[in-house]
Amino acid sequence: MSKPTPLSGFPEWLPAGQIVERQVVETLRRTFELYGFAPLTTRAVEPMDQLLRKGETSKEVYVLRRLQADADDPSDSGLGLHFDLTVPFARYVLENAGKLQFPFRRYQIQPCWRGERPQEGRYREFLQADIDIVDRDTLPAHYEVELPLVIADALRALPLPAVTMHVNNRKLCQGFYTGLGLSDPMEAIRIVDKIDKIGPAAVAEQLTAVLGASDAQAKACLALAEISTPDASFADRVAALGVTDPLLDTGVEELVAVVEAAAEHAPGLLVADLKIARGLDYYTGTVYETFLAGSESLGSICSGGRYDNLASSGDESYPGVGLSIGVSRILGRLLGREELTATRTVPTCVLVALPNDESRADCDRLAMALRRRGIATEVAPAAQKYGKQIRFAQRRGIPFVAFPGEDGVQIRDIRSGEQVPVDPATWQPPAEDLHPRIVAG
Amino acid sequence: MSKPTPLSGFPEWLPAGQIVERQVVETLRRTFELYGFAPLTTRAVEPMDQLLRKGETSKEVYVLRRLQADADDPSDSGLGLHFDLTVPFARYVLENAGKLQFPFRRYQIQPCWRGERPQEGRYREFLQADIDIVDRDTLPAHYEVELPLVIADALRALPLPAVTMHVNNRKLCQGFYTGLGLSDPMEAIRIVDKIDKIGPAAVAEQLTAVLGASDAQAKACLALAEISTPDASFADRVAALGVTDPLLDTGVEELVAVVEAAAEHAPGLLVADLKIARGLDYYTGTVYETFLAGSESLGSICSGGRYDNLASSGDESYPGVGLSIGVSRILGRLLGREELTATRTVPTCVLVALPNDESRADCDRLAMALRRRGIATEVAPAAQKYGKQIRFAQRRGIPFVAFPGEDGVQIRDIRSGEQVPVDPATWQPPAEDLHPRIVAG
């Protein structure tokens, strides 16, 4: 076989990056579970009609075909790979509603696939980490307050650059545009959402051209979009615009609650940013977008919001709120720039040196004694000179080498060179050396 | 949307099963890492020419196509989903050989896809957990001894029915057939491998028809295939057959080492079973198959072997040894028969009861204090009557409910009904209640 080459858009990490990803995922899982989110894994495929429900993503979907499909067995025709974790989650909830307890809070960490043209931060296969809470019929707004706190804990547990979550509320915007007298508030949201791409002047033009907005109305829309405060003071600035509407009041109140809770729990994390809208139509309350300091050009690394109508079947509806972390997007940037790495490329904490081939069984027993106490241990592959065995450990970043001898076992910290006799039944490495750790590069 | 229905061959578990799978995977990871295996995740797709290298699996492969593929962008045409974790691992090793440290030991736990007709134990999407050790040019035989010990530790850490691993060695069989004077020892291995399907008489017929074996030769082949011992005594029975060959001697010696090490480390796990061959041609040394007591009809739940020629590029070859656990096959059976379940359907250990809506912020703070000490905690969704809040916990199997009050916090074990005042800064649940556990159903 000739040497294979990487596939564009399908990132794979080298061993240190693999360790970083494993620890990032484990940290996310642990945080999500502390908040009672239950693990969920769904199949990678969905029927095409589920995937195409919203139309706009159709060209990104990977369709599956069996290489030698039987014409008489259509059971797996019409399947595609999921492009996010929301569609499969909504389908799982509907399919199993009778067997689930609501409110149902789950996390889901799986790859997704989109046939997009690859570029930095956009992959064809990428790992997402989602949390959602759905309920039957109604969902209290306090979950919109809770979700960003979970994400704050998850991201703060990792050595990432600072993150800022920009938050808005669809009710606030929709109510404002209604109170302003615009004919189609949802269309106004879609137009104002383009402000970062096309600029305020073009937004004003479109508001006039598409919605027949007056100059004063367009100006008010832009004034709302300009409001961005790190605390609840946005409410005063909205009030100062002089628009009144009951839905606007609800939206302001809900956003104040989100911002105030976050200010207590994770000072500096949240910004109320009234131009954030999220493209997708299904959001109905709080919306979230998150940016990594120094990597704003990547786009949002954690987005989501409140939805009321994503999953519904017959008379039943399942409103929810969810946030999705772009794990591959974050790691692609930070591993690519060597801003993150691992303290070693293997889980191994101790290498047992092999004095000679005859002592392999004894060395295996020593390794087992350490493993039984949770210390990851390998035995050297061959009875080479000790210098070579130590280099085996060095090349992998293994911090300790154990030397079995007739007088007992000695363990050397190969970073400092310090070597001491130990009792393998009680010796413990420093806590920070027990497992590989993620460190800023 | 109408209620979705399950897709045959694409299993998904309910919440208790999801918890079981999560813990099984975590136990496997922990065990593999204790032995120094590094985590590896590869992309789900491989170029079709990689997937079809061995020809025989061609009809099982799922091919990908973008729904709206551009004729001018062939970058993701010719891709298929991997059907095992060996092909992607071999490709990853070749692609990154210059950046890896050898011997390279990795574990990989990912779904695989095969377009097979679904039946019990055979899925179209299924989770595999693989460990492999590969080296450059040569690989010492002691890794063939180590691998089943790792699997033994991993499986013993789970509440599974007894497992038995059947082990053989290709060199032993090949050498025996050569020493016997058969013209094509590899073909003899393939024929004898069918013994469980077609019976000894048919095997003898094929040996005669295909290889021109004499009656005595065919009988000797069957006599070898009948040998199965729980210890190294198989060696005497092989010797008694009176065939001599240097490769046979090596094979016996290697198999003795595997069986004896396992007898010390995991008594009762291994059986030397000289009819085991594994269908695939690429094995060259020890081969393994594993059966679950009471579920033998499922087929092997953990298979693998030593291979010398799987990955090679130009002058370099990467011999290895690997074992692959069929996680979905095991869980499909044991969850389906309710022989395994979880002590609860959520990670949550404590539900904080909500006295009234005004106390939500206080309850959130209490929850945070518990989470900070690693205790998974949720706050009740609404200030309903306490009876209803307790039933919320009961339905999910959450063991403890905390009641905040003016005199401090009380915690009730809702299984026993015992309720005591606690200091939330120090209270700790019993260790067995901290996380959900897998239990025999």
Q: Do A75 and B9 touch (CB under 8 A)?
A: yes
Helix (H, G, I), strand (E, B) or coil at A198: helix
Per-residue pLDDT, averaged over A269-295, amounts to 90
* Lowest mean pLDDT, pick from A331-345, A424-438, B277-291: B277-291
Instruction: Quote the percentage of chain A above a pLDDT of 90.
Output: 84
- pLDDT tens digits for A76-96? 678 999 999 999 999 999 999
The alpha carbon of residue A375 is apart from the nearest alpha carbon of chain B, in Å, by 6
Tell me the residues of chain B between 321 and 360 that have a Cβ less than 8 Å away from chain A. Answer: 345-348, 360
Neighbours of A198 (CB within 10 A): 12
d(Cα A184, Cα A191) in Å, to the nearest integer? 11
pLDDT at position A329 over 90: yes
pLDDT on residue B226: 96
DSSP letter for A118, please: P
Q: Which of residues 223-242 of A touch B (CB under 8 A)?
A: none
Say if residues B7 and A28 touch (Cβ distance below 8 Å).
no
Number of residue pairs across A and B with CB atoms under 8 Å?
Answer: 250
Residues of B in contact with A75 (CB under 8 A): 7-9, 118
Angstrom distances, CA of residue B403 to CA of B352, B362, B407, B408, B413: 6, 11, 10, 8, 11
A95/B5 Cβ within 8 A: yes
Residue from A12, A30, A110, A360 to probe the interface with B (highest B Cβ count within 10 Å): A12
Predicted confidence band of residue B74 (pLDDT cuts 50, 70, 90): low
Mutate to test the interface with B, among A33, A89, A104, A128 (most CBs of B within 10 A): A33
Put simply, the answer to whether B8 touches A75 (Cβ < 8 Å) is: yes
> By CA distance, what is B365's nearest residue in A?
A265
Compute the average pLDDT of residues A138-147.
94
Tell if the CB–CB gap between A374 and B81 is shorter than 8 Å: no
- Residue A225 in 3-state DSSP? helix
Q: Which of B2, B76, B124 sits opposite A76 (nearest CB)?
A: B124
What pLDDT sits at residue A275?
93
Q: Are A247 and A255 in contact (CB under 8 A)?
A: no
3-state secondary structure of B390: helix
CB < 8 Å from A in window 139-168 of B: 140, 142, 146, 153
Q: Inform me whether the C-beta atom of residue B416 falls under 8 Å from chain A C-beta atoms.
A: no
Q: Do B346 and A39 touch (CB under 8 A)?
A: no
Residue B312 to chain A, least CA–CA distance (Å):
6
- Interatomic CA distance for residues A330 and A360, integer angstroms: 43
- Residue B42 touches chain A, beta carbons under 8 Å: yes
| Closest residue to A125, CB basis, from B4, B43, B67 | B43
Contacts of B266 in chain A (CB under 8 A): none
Nearest to A36 among B95, B125, B376 (CB): B376
- Contact by Cβ (8 Å): B154, B266: no
Which secondary-structure segment (H or E) carries A20? helix A15-34
Judge: B67–A73 Cβ closer than 8 Å, yes or no.
no
Across the interface, do A7 and B361 touch by the CB < 8 Å criterion? no
Would you state the structure tokens that stand for residue A295, as one six-digit string?
Answer: 């990597």
CB contact under 8 A, B36 and A348: yes
Assess A383–B contact: CB distance below 8 Å, yes or no: no
Domains of chain B: 15-341 (3.30.930.10), 350-440 (3.40.50.800)
Nearest CB among B45, B48, B95 relative to A3 is that of B95
* pLDDT tens sequence across B253-274: 999 999 999 999 899 999 999 9
In the predicted structure, residue B163 carries a pLDDT above the cut 80: yes
Q: Is the pLDDT of residue B414 over 90?
A: yes
296-325 in B: which are within 8 Å (CB) of A?
311-314
Judged by a CB distance cut-off of 8 A, whether residue A138 touches chain B is no
Which pLDDT score is estimated for A53?
77
Q: Binning pLDDT at 50, 70 and 90, where does residue A3 land?
A: confident
The residue of chain B nearest to residue A78, with distances taken between CA atoms, is: B67
Q: Which residue did the predictor score with more confidence, B432 or B122?
A: B432
* Six-digit token string for B327: 């996680």
> Which residue out of B19, B20, B41 would a mutagenesis test of the A interface target, given it has the greatest number of A Cβ atoms within 10 Å?
B41
Tokens representing A324 are: 């999705």
* Burial of B407: CB neighbours in 10 Å, binned 0-12, 13-18, 19+: exposed
Starting at the edge strand that comes first in sequence, how are the strands of the sheet with A228-229 ordered? A38-39, A104-113, A125-134, A316-326, A302-313, A283-292, A163-169, A270-273, A228-229
Rounded to the nearest integer, the mean pLDDT of chain A is 93
A11 in contact with B, Cβ within 8 Å: yes
**Which residues of chain A make contact with B86, given a CB cutoff of 8 A?**
none
Statement: residue B179 has pLDDT above 80: yes
**pLDDT (tens digit per residue) in B107-151:** 999 999 998 888 888 899 999 999 999 999 999 999 999 999 999
Rounded to the nearest 10 degrees, what angle do helices B327-336 and B15-34 cross at? 140
Which residue is closest to A99 within chain B, CA to CA? B14
Of chain B, the percentage scoring pLDDT greater than 90 comes to 84
Residues of chain B with C-beta less than 8 angstroms from the C-beta of A6? 95
Please tell me the predicted confidence (pLDDT) of residue B75: 60
Q: How confident is the model at residue A316 (pLDDT cuts 50, 70, 90)?
A: confident
Model pLDDT, residue A132: 98
How much is the pLDDT for A70?
63
Chain A residues whose beta carbon lies within 8 Å of the beta carbon of residue B76? 7, 9, 62, 115, 124
Would the CB atoms of A53 and B1 count as touching at under 8 Å?
Answer: yes
Determine the Cα–Cα distance for residues B133 and A111; give it in Å rounded to an integer: 26
Amino acid at A193: D
Is A122 near chain B, with CB under 8 Å?
no
